[in-house]
C-alpha cells in the first residue's frame, strides 16, 4: 500500500498514465479509514458542535495536485471522488447481516402483497415472487462482486457511470434518489394510518410529527445510529415473520380457536388465478417493489468496516431471506386468504388493515394478535422510512461527488454524515403532513409515479454494469483471481437478471396500456409507466448538458483499478488461498453452510 510520503513523490495526476492514477487512488482508498481528526479535549458539547464542521480530508488526499496541466475527465473525476469519500466505515458484520435480512421487509410485503393477491390470485403471487426472487438473487450476486471489489461511495449508480457511461449513472442515481425521497413521507403517512387501527379519532398529523422527529433523531446519530436502529427494527420484523410462519401452519391445520381445517380449500375455491395471465403479470412489479431495498447493501460498502469479510456474508443472506421470509410466508398467506376477500385493496395502499397477514390472523379467530401484527407493520414502515433517509442522503451525496448534483449537497461533516443531503430529505418528509388531507392519495400516487419501476431500472443497471466489468476484465487480460469475491451465479446470472428485468418492463407496459377491469386511459398509463419517460428524459438531459453522445465506454478503456479495496493483489490471493484451504478441511455440512452463508 502506498504511504503518504510515497504519494507526495509522485508526479501530478495530470502527468500520470491511467493505470498509475488508478493504483494511487486505490492506495488512498484503503488507507483512508475516514476517521476525521476531531478534538476530544473540548468536552461533550464542544465535540458535538464540532462534529457538524466540514470533514477534514486525509493528508494523502490533500497532497495530491489534481489541477496541474489539465482537468480530469468526467469519468476520472467520478472514479477519484467516489473512491475518496469522507463517509465513515462504522457498519459492523451484525449490522450488515440484519440489514440484508430485514431491510426490505416493509409495506411492500406486509401490505402491498394484498393487492397482488387480489389481482393475481394465490398462484399468481407465488409465480411473481418466485420469478422475481431468482432475478434478485442473481442481481445481488453481481452487485456483491462489484461492491466487495470496489467499496466506494454511491455503489451501483457509480458502477453504472464507470462501467456503462456517466449519463446512465446520472439517470439511475436521480431515479433511485426520487424513489426513496418520495418514500419517506409515504411511510410517515403509513405510520399515521396504522395508528388509526387503534383509534380512528386521532389527527394523523400528530403522529406524522412524532415519527418524523424519531427519524430525524436517528439520522443525526450517523451511520452507526442507522446500523443500530436497523438492527433492532429488522430483528423485530424477523421474529414477527417467523412467528407468523409457525402460526400460519397451525391455522392451516385447524389448530386455531375456531378449529377450522383450511388445507388447500382456497386454492380450489375461488381458485389459483384471479385474472389469468394478465393478473400474473401484475404481480411482478409488486414483487419487485417488495424486494426493493435489497440493493441497499451496495450503498453500505463505503461505510463498512471490513468490506471483504462482511459484504459477502450479507449478500449470501439474500438467498435465505427470499426463501424463508418471502416465499414461505406468502405461501401461508395465499392459503389462508382468498383473493376475492373484500378487505383486500390496491397494491399501493398504505392501510395496514388491508394487510393479508392481518386478515389471515383475523380469519383464524385469534383475538389480540391482529394488534400485534399491526404493531409490527408500524415498526416495518418506520424502518423503511429510516432506510429511505439513508438511501436518499447517500445517493445525493454520491451524485454531488460525481458532479451530477450541486456541490453543496455533498457536504459531509466530521462525524461522516452527509448533512446537507440528510437535511433535504428530512425536510421533504414534512410533506407527509397532508396525511389528513382528502387529496393525499392522488398526491402520493403521482409522486410515486415519477420514480415508478425504479427498483427494476436499478437492478437492470447493476446487471449491465457487472456484465461490462467482466468484459473489461477479459479484454484487458485480467484474471478473476484478482477479485476478493466472485459472484456465485457468474456473469450468466447477470445476463439472466437483465433479460428478466426487461421482460418485467414489457409486461408492465402491457398492463399500463390495458389495465385490468378498466378501459385504456392516459391517467392509468402514466401512473404505471411515468418512471420510464422520466428516466429517459434524465439520460437525455445529461447528454445535452455535457454534449457527450458516447453511448458506452469501450471495454479496453474501463478503469478496473480505481477504488479497489486491496492494492496488494499477491497478498490478497495468498489470503484467499489460505481461506479456501481451511474451508476444504471442514466437513461437507460446514462447506455447504459457508457456500450459502
Contact indicator for 87, 302 with CB cutoff of 8 Å:
yes
Helices 222-252 and 329-336 pack at an angle, to 10 degrees, of 40
Q: Compute the half-sphere exposure of residue 144: CA atoms within 13 Å on the CB side of its CA.
A: 30
Distance CA 54, CA 139 (A): 36
Torsion sign, CA atoms 54, 58, 59, 61 = negative
Q: What is the pLDDT of residue 61?
A: 39
User: 91: which DSSP letter?
Assistant: B
Contact indicator for 444, 66 with CB cutoff of 8 Å:
no
Cβ atoms within 10 Å, residue 263:
12
**Residue 326 exposed, middle or buried by CB count within 10 Å (0-12, 13-18, 19+):** buried
Distance CA 507, CA 288 (A): 13
Q: What is the pLDDT of residue 18?
A: 41
Helices 419-429 and 204-219 pack at an angle, to 10 degrees, of 170
Q: What is the pLDDT of residue 64?
A: 38
Distances (CA, A) of 67 to 18, 343, 461, 589: 16, 63, 32, 56
**Residue 319 exposed, middle or buried by CB count within 10 Å (0-12, 13-18, 19+):** middle
Q: What is the pLDDT of residue 293?
A: 77
Q: Compute the half-sphere exposure of residue 88: CA atoms within 13 Å on the CB side of its CA.
A: 23
Q: Helix (H, G, I), strand (E, B), or coil: what is residue 413?
A: strand
Q: What is the pLDDT of residue 596?
A: 67
DSSP assignment string, 145-172: HHHHH---TTTHHHHHHHHT-HHHHHHH
Considering the entire predicted model, what is its pTM? 0.84
Distance CA 276, CA 274 (A): 6
Under 8 Å CB-to-CB from 271, ≥6 apart: which residues? 121
Q: What is the pLDDT of residue 102?
A: 64
| Burial call 145-166: b when 16+ CB within 10 Å, e when fewer | bbbbbbbbbbbbbbbbbbbbbb
Distance CA 334, CA 337 (A): 6
Distance CA 264, CA 335 (A): 6
Q: Helix (H, G, I), strand (E, B), or coil: what is residue 304?
A: strand
Contact indicator for 126, 116 with CB cutoff of 8 Å:
no
Distance CA 349, CA 46 (A): 46
Domain residue spans of the chain:
94-548, 570-597
Residue with grid cell 414483487, as numbered in its chain: 287
Q: Does domain 94-548 have CATH number 1.20.1740.10?
A: yes
Write out the three cell numbers for 570: 499477491
Q: What is the pLDDT of residue 70?
A: 54
Picking from 125, 160, 183, the residue whose alpha carbon sits closest to that of residue 298 is 160
The dihedral formed by the CA atoms of 123, 125, 128 and 132, expressed in degrees to the nearest 10: -130
Distance CA 328, CA 130 (A): 11
Under 8 Å CB-to-CB from 541, ≥6 apart: which residues? 170
pLDDT digit of tens for each residue in the chain (597 aa)?
A: 444 433 333 333 334 334 433 443 333 333 344 444 444 445 677 766 666 667 665 544 333 344 445 566 767 777 766 666 666 666 776 777 677 666 667 777 787 788 888 889 999 999 999 999 899 889 999 998 998 888 877 678 889 998 999 999 999 999 888 888 888 888 887 777 778 778 777 777 788 888 899 888 888 887 778 888 888 888 888 888 888 999 999 999 988 787 788 888 889 888 888 888 888 988 888 888 788 778 887 777 667 777 777 788 778 777 777 777 788 999 999 999 999 888 887 544 555 667 888 888 888 888 877 788 888 888 887 888 888 888 888 888 888 888 888 888 888 887 778 888 889 988 988 887 875 566 666 766 777 777 678 889 999 999 999 999 999 999 999 888 888 888 988 999 999 999 999 999 998 899 888 888 788 888 888 888 888 898 999 999 999 998 888 888 999 989 888 777 655 667 777 777 777 788 877 787 877 777 766
Q: What is the pLDDT of residue 543?
A: 93
Picking from 165, 326, 351, the residue whose alpha carbon sits closest to that of residue 237 is 326
Torsion sign, CA atoms 134, 474, 299, 99 = positive
Amino acid at each position: 500500500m502506498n504511504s503518504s510520503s510515497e504519494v507526495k513523490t509522485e508526479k501530478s495526476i495530470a502527468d500520470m498514465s491511467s493505470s498509475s492514477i488508478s493504483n494511487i487512488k486505490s492506495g488512498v482508498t484503503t488507507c483512508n479509514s475516514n476517521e476525521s481528526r476531531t478534538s476530544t479535549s473540548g468536552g461533550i458539547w464542544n465535540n458535538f458542535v464540532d462534529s457538524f464542521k466540514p470533514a477534514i480530508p486525509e493528508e494523502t488526499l490533500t497532497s495530491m495536485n489534481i489541477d496541474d496541466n489539465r482537468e480530469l475527465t468526467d469519468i476520472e473525476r467520478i472514479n477519484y471522488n467516489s473512491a475518496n469519500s469522507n463517509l465513515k466505515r462504522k457498519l459492523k458484520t451484525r449490522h450488515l447481516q440484519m440489514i440484508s435480512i430485514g431491510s426490505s421487509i416493509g409495506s411492500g410485503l406486509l401490505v402491498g402483497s394484498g393487492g397482488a393477491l387480489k389481482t393475481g390470485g394465490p398462484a399468481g403471487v407465488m409465480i411473481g415472487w418466485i420469478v422475481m426472487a431468482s432475478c434478485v438473487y442473481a442481481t445481488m450476486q453481481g452487485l456483491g462482486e462489484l461492491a466487495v471489489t470496489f467499496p466506494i461511495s454511491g455503489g451501483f449508480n457509480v458502477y453504472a457511470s464507470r462501467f456503462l457511461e456517466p449519463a446512465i449513472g446520472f439517470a439511475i442515481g436521480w431515479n433511485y434518489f426520487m424513489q426513496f425521497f418520495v418514500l419517506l413521507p409515504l411511510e410517515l403517512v403509513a405510520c399515521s394510518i396504522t395508528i388509526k387501527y387503534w383509534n380512528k379519532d386521532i389527527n394523523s398529523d400528530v403522529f406524522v410529527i412524532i415519527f418524523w422527529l424519531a427519524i430525524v433523531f436517528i439520522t443525526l446519530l450517523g451511520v452507526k445510529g442507522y446500523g443500530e436502529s436497523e438492527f433492532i427494527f429488522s430483528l423485530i420484523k424477523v421474529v414477527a415473520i417467523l412467528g407468523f410462519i409457525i402460526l400460519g401452519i397451525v391455522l392451516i391445520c385447524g389448530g386455531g380457536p375456531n378449529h377450522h381445517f383450511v388445507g388447500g380449500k382456497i386454492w380450489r375455491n375461488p381458485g389459483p388465478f384471479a385474472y389469468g395471465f394478465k393478473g400474473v403479470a401484475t404481480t411482478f412489479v409488486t414483487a419487485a417493489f417488495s424486494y426493493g431495498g435489497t440493493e441497499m447493501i451496495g450503498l453500505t460498502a463505503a461505510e463498512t468496516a471490513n468490506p471483504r469479510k462482511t459484504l459477502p456474508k450479507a449478500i449470501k443472506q439474500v438467498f435465505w431471506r427470499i426463501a424463508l421470509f418471502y416465499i414461505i410466508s406468502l405461501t401461508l398467506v395465499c392459503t389462508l386468504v382468498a383473493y376475492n376477500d373484500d378487505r383486500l385493496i390496491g397494491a399501493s395502499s398504505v392501510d395496514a388493515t388491508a394487510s393479508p397477514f392481518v386478515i389471515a390472523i383475523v380469519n383464524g379467530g385469534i383475538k389480540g394478535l391482529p394488534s400485534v401484527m399491526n404493531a409490527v407493520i408500524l415498526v416495518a414502515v418506520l424502518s423503511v422510512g429510516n432506510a429511505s433517509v439513508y438511501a436518499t442522503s447517500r445517493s445525493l451525496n454520491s451524485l454531488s461527488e460525481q458532479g451530477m448534483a450541486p456541490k453543496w449537497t455533498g457536504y459531509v461533516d466530521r462525524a461522516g454524515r452527509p448533512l446537507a443531503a440528510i437535511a433535504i430529505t428530512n425536510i421533504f418528509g414534512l410533506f407527509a403532513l397532508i396525511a389528513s388531507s382528502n387529496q393525499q392519495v392522488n398526491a402520493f400516487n403521482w409522486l410515486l409515479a415519477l420514480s415508478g419501476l425504479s427498483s427494476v431500472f436499478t437492478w437492470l443497471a447493476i446487471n449491465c454494469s457487472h456484465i461490462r466489468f467482466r468484459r473489461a476484465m477479459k479484454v484487458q487480460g485480467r484474471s478473476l483471481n484478482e477479485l476478493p469475491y466472485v459472484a456465485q451465479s457468474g456473469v450468466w446470472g447477470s445476463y439472466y437478471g437483465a433479460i428478466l428485468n426487461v421482460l418485467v418492463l414489457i409486461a408492465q407496459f402491457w398492463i399500463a396500456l390495458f389495465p385490468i377491469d378498466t378501459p385504456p386511459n392516459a391517467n392509468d398509463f402514466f401512473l404505471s409507466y411515468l418512471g420510464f419517460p422520466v428516466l429517459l428524459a434524465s439520460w437525455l438531459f445529461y447528454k445535452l448538458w455535457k454534449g457527450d453522445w458516447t453511448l458506452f465506454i469501450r471495454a479496453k478503456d474501463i478503469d478496473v483499478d480505481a477504488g479497489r479495496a486491496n492494492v496488494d493483489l499477491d497478498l490478497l490471493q495468498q489470503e484467499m488461498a489460505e481461506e479456501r484451504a481451511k474451508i476444504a478441511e471442514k466437513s461437507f455440512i460446514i462447506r455447504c453452510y459457508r457456500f450459502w452463508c
